[in-house]
Amino acid sequence: MPKLTITRLLVMLCVLTLLASGCAKKPVVEQPVAAPESTQVEMTQQQPAAVTEQAVTDTATNAYDAAAAARAAERAASKGLARIHFDFDQYILTPAAKSILVSNAGLLRAAPAVKVLIEGHCDERGSDEYNLALGEKRALAAKNYLVSLGVAADRMSVISYGEEMPIDPAHTKEAWAKNRRANFKVKR
């Protein structure tokens, strides 16, 4: 009797295991139906073009996602947009400033969704109100040059802080040179 019971138990266990594995497998059959559907929905919502499998295999790792590419260009713009500097009491763009703006324009053209705030600044010398006007002229000079390089004017806004926000608060020629600038801030 005990022996029989043990064999019966063993048999039952085997049957149970089989049943269990069978049960476990059953949803696997159904899942593939549900899963691709949901990913497809996501993909069409995000970027329909990205669904094509060719892009994944043919090109570099993250380039299959145009959204990611745009984000990367945005990141490149917000990190890469370099500030430009000016001579004392001047808002004319120096050759050095122009070449920086050429590179900034490239970054901005690559990231067409990015909007940018151009801040004009002055050194501490000069009167505060005059410098507010001068800072605005500097920001506008930068904006106009970027427009000439193909960046849409409506993507750029300007603000002048005059001499209110120096990078370097020292009262030296070096500090003044650093502070006479236009900055580019990516707006979210």
- In the complex, the residues that contact another protein under the rule CB under 8 A are 89, 125-130, 132-134, 136-137, 140, 158-161, 164
CB of 65 to another protein, least distance (A): 34
Number of C-beta neighbours around residue 143 at 10 A: 22
Strand (E) or helix (H) holding 184: strand 181-187
- The angle formed by the CA atoms of residues 14, 17 and 21, to the nearest 5 degrees, is 140
Least Å from the CB of residue 183 to another protein: 15
Residue 42: both structure tokens together: 């996501």
Q: Which is nearer to another protein, 89 or 168 (CB)?
A: 89
Alpha carbon distance 104, 86 (integer Å): 16
Would you say 80 or 126 has its CB closer to another protein?
A: 126
Cβ atoms of 143 and 158 within 8 Å: the answer is yes
Q: Nearest distance from residue 122's CB to another protein, in Å?
A: 11
For another protein, the closer CB: 114 or 120: 120
| Closest CB to another protein among residues 42, 164 | 164
Cα atoms in the Cβ-side hemisphere of radius 13 Å centred on 6: 2
Nearest distance from C-beta of residue 142 to another protein, angstroms: 13
Paired with 186 in beta bridges are 116
Nearer to another protein, 152 or 159 (CB): 159
The CA distances from residue 171 to 166, 168, 174, in Å, are 11, 8, 8
CB of 30: closest distance to another protein in angstroms?
A: 54
